[in-house]
Amino acid sequence: MKWQSLLRVAFKSIAKNKMRSLLTMLGIIIGVAAVITMVAIGAGAQQQIQQQINSLGTNLIIVFPGASRQGGVSMGGGTGTRLSIEDVEKLKREAQLLTGVSPIVRAGVQAVGGIGNWNTSAQGVAVDYLEIRQWPLVSGEFFTSADVRGQAKVCVIGQTIVTNLFPDQDPVGQQLRLRNVPFRIIGVLAEKGQSAAGLDQDDAILVPYTTALYRLSGWRFIQQILCSAVAEDQLTAAQEEIRTLLREAHKLQEGDDDDFTIRNQTDLASAAQETTRIMTLLLASIASVSLLVGGIGIMNIMLVSVTERTREIGIRMAIGARGSDILVQFLVEAVALSLSGGVLGIGAGFLGRYLVVAFSDWSPVISIPTVFLAFGFSGAVGIFFGFYPARKAASLNPIEALRYE
């Protein structure tokens, strides 16, 4: 029998019992739709995380303090106090693979100005900070090296501060009090959005780091050092250069552990992406169970079909059809049933993505390879679960099949 004839007979059989065929395909439809939607959600999450990582800056390297110890007990990473302004100056002066270096000095403050007050944190940074973070201004200007040297009481604010304290007005030139210290607003940052950790990056007040150290924080150490490598392919080399310079600055001997930790943008992205990838695989695996359930449904209905069409099978064999012809006929019907469910499942998957976008903040990303993979898997399910009924039909005795009522 020609393939055209096989397909025509297969779809004629499916159309003969529309409701039964639709119910049989339901498991495949749900399975394909679920796989496409779940993988799309995972891909969207990965893309969103990558965008948030990229929003941190270009070729970013972050230096954290090491762990402090009390009574022989480690207090955890980031609790040390060994990072200093001298470290920052040494990196600026001697590093060859860095385009920018900025300390980070944080101080919790109650910002008072405009129409009220807002609890936030001020960050003391250097003039390289905006270049490192790739963070443009929408109005005003950034502070200068002279402002840093003179501990100037000037600040640049984020969009969250503007929204809560200076709505419907230009904050540039106005006053903002931080810990009862008056600051003049000289610039407004562009909107940045959430970080990969879910923090609001726009809830920011930037001041010269010298001002933060001596007027706001009360500390003489810094919490972080941000650096920008000259190129992405130089991140590892730049990290090693930073490590060498800081060990020299801290007078660490060979064999001594580092009293600081260095992380780069790729490390942050890889950790977040790996977590999301595992979650996506887990969701897709759970969704794939529906495909197996759908395959069992197809096998069940094909066995019923073999029983119903036993006499027809006997007639075909009596007029010359071989067992292999009968097997291929029923196998094609099973695959056609499964692939029809796959096509409808793809449509349902796109509908599922639309609903997720409409009713949540997620932005699922459907990839063409995922669609083809789900469609191909639905066909494989049809072959696997359709083979046993097809083989049973092919092994019928023609004489007994003709006698079947």
- pTM higher than the cut 0.75: no
Nearest to 305 by CA among 339, 343, 331: 331
Residue 70 maps to a domain: no
Q: Does 160 have pLDDT greater than 50? A: yes
Q: Could you tell me the sign of the dihedral formed by the alpha carbons of 314, 319, 324, 329, in that order?
A: negative
CA distance 25 to 338: 6
In this structure, the answer to whether residues 248 and 278 fall within a common structural domain is no
What does the alpha-carbon distance between residue 278 and residue 274 come to, in Å, rounded to a whole number? Answer: 6
- Report d(CA 305, CA 299) in Å as an integer: 10
DSSP element (H, E) containing 230: none
pLDDT tens-digit profile of 57-87? Answer: 568 888 988 754 444 444 444 444 668 889 9
249 occurs within a structural domain: yes
Is residue 58 in a domain? no
Q: Report yes or no on 118 lying in a domain.
A: yes
Identify which of 43-47, 153-157, 237-241 has the greatest average pLDDT. Answer: 153-157
Residues 383 and 240 in one domain: no
Cα separation of 67 and 82, whole Å?
10
| Same domain flag for 148 and 214 | yes
Whether 65 is covered by a domain: the verdict is no
Q: Give dist(CA 102, CA 301) in Å, integer.
A: 69
- How does DSSP classify residue 256? P
- Looking at the fold, whether 298 and 371 belong to one and the same domain comes out as yes
Euclidean distance between CA atoms 118 and 297, whole angstroms: 60
Cα dihedral value 291, 297, 303, 304, nearest 10: -150
Best CA proximity match to 54, nearest among 277, 267, 269: 269
Extract the tokens encoding 113: 């100005």
Please give the mean pLDDT across all residues of the chain.
80
C-alpha span between 352 and 358 (Å, rounded): 10
Is 220 found in the same domain as 87? yes
Give me the mean pLDDT over the 179-186 stretch: 93
Domain count, the chain: 2
Q: Looking at 201, 230, 258, which one is the last position of a domain?
A: 258
Label the pairing between strands 260-264 and 69-70: unpaired
Same domain, 125 and 235: yes
DSSP H helices in 55-170: 85-94, 129-133, 145-149, 159-165
The residue segments making up the domain with residue 232 are 81-258
Q: What is the pLDDT of residue 69?
A: 47
Calculate mean pLDDT across residues 127-144: 91
Give the pLDDT of residue 209.
Answer: 93
Three-class DSSP category at 144 = coil
Last residue of a domain, one of 236, 258, 280: 258
Q: What's the burial of 401, exposed, middle or buried (CB within 10 Å: 0-12/13-18/19+)?
A: buried
pLDDT value at residue 172: 93
Domain shared by 203 and 302, yes or no? no
Looking at 229, 258, 287, the residue that finishes a domain is 258
Higher pLDDT, 209 or 387: 209
- What mean pLDDT do residues 8-14 have? 70
Higher pLDDT, 312 or 137: 137
Q: What is the tens place of the pLDDT at every residue in 364-375? A: 878 788 888 888
- DSSP element (H, E) containing 187: strand 181-189
In this structure, is residue 59 part of a structural domain?
no
Q: Check whether residue 209 and residue 93 sit in a common domain.
A: yes
pLDDT-derived band at 164 (thresholds 50, 70, 90) equals very high
Considering only CA atoms, which of 21, 39, 40, 17 is closest in space to residue 29? 21
Domain identity same for 191 and 311: no
Same domain, 387 and 302: yes
Does the residue 76 lie in any domain? no
pLDDT for 241-268, tens place per residue?
999 999 988 888 887 888 888 887 666 5
Q: Which residue would you say has higher pLDDT here, 9 or 29?
A: 29
- Domain co-membership, 278 together with 329: yes
Instruction: Note whether residue 66 is domain-resident.
Output: no
Which pLDDT tens digit goes with each residue over 319-328?
Answer: 766 767 777 7
Tens of pLDDT along 89-127? 999 999 999 989 999 999 889 999 988 899 999 999 999
Does residue 315 surpass a pLDDT of 50? yes
pLDDT tens-digit map of 328-352:
777 777 888 888 888 888 888 888 8
Residues 113 and 173 in one domain: yes
